[in-house]
Structure formats: structure tokens, C-alpha cells
Amino acid sequence: MIAFLLPIFLAAGCTSKTVMIGPRPPESYRAERRADGRECGFLLFGVIPTGDFQRRAEIAYQEALEHGGHALTDTSIQHSWYVIPYVGYLECTRVEGKVVE
């Protein structure tokens, strides 16, 4: 029974709910300028999150809008992991898109 349930519990631990990190653009808008934002979080020993580890995408999105604009459209999200041996992992999220003005 444990051999059957263990993979299910491990897979369930790797999922999260879908969230909207920015508002929907209006029906008519202009989006010509590109912007990006980046935020990193640290997993101490690979399991203990520090700081706003779960809000990386939201913070990167807000950073992309720091120089003006209401929202992003045509967005892409990239995740990068960096291993620091015996200490943990640094995970960075980069959000890029066109600025809705």
C-alpha cells in the first residue's frame, strides 16, 4: 500500500493552483514597449524556503511594470535553478512581455 501511495503523495506535493499575477488588458490598448522583471528565492538545504519564495512570479511582474504601464501582454515566464553545493538552491523567475499603456 505504501509503495502505491508514496508516488501519489510526491506528485501532489509538486503541484500548485493557477493564479493570475496581473490584470486582464482592456479591450483596446497599445503595447509596443517590452519590459522584463526578475526575482529570485532561496531554498536552504533544498527544502526550506526563505523570503517570498512562493511570490517570485508576482514580484517579477511588478518589477517589469516599475517604469510605467498598467499590465503586460504577450508574456513569457522563465525559471532558472542554480545549485549551491551543501547550502541549497537559488531559483529565479523572469517575466517578460509587452507593456500595456
Please compute the mean of the pLDDT values over residues 23-46 and round it to a whole number: 83
Total domains in the fold of the chain: 1
pLDDT at residue 12 tops 80: no
Instruction: Please write the tens of the pLDDT for every residue from 39-73.
Output: 998 888 888 888 777 788 888 888 988 888 788 88
Mean pLDDT of 3-26: 66
Q: Where residue 19 falls among pLDDT bands split at 50, 70, 90? A: low
Compute φ and ψ for 84, nearest 5 degrees: -110, 105
- The whole-number average pLDDT for the span 61-87 is 86
Res 38: pLDDT: 93
DSSP string, 25-88: PPSS-----EEEEEEEEEEETTTEEESSGGGHHHHHHHHHTTTS-SEEEEEEEEEEEEEETTTE
Mean pLDDT of the chain: 81
Mean pLDDT of 3-17: 64
Give the structural domain span for 54: 18-100
Global pTM value: 0.69
Query: What is the full DSSP assignment across 83-101?
Result: EETTTEEEEEEEEEEEEE-
Q: Is 12 within the bounds of a domain?
A: no
88 neighbors 72 (Cβ within 8 angstroms) = no
86 falls within a domain: yes
In a domain, 66, yes or no: yes
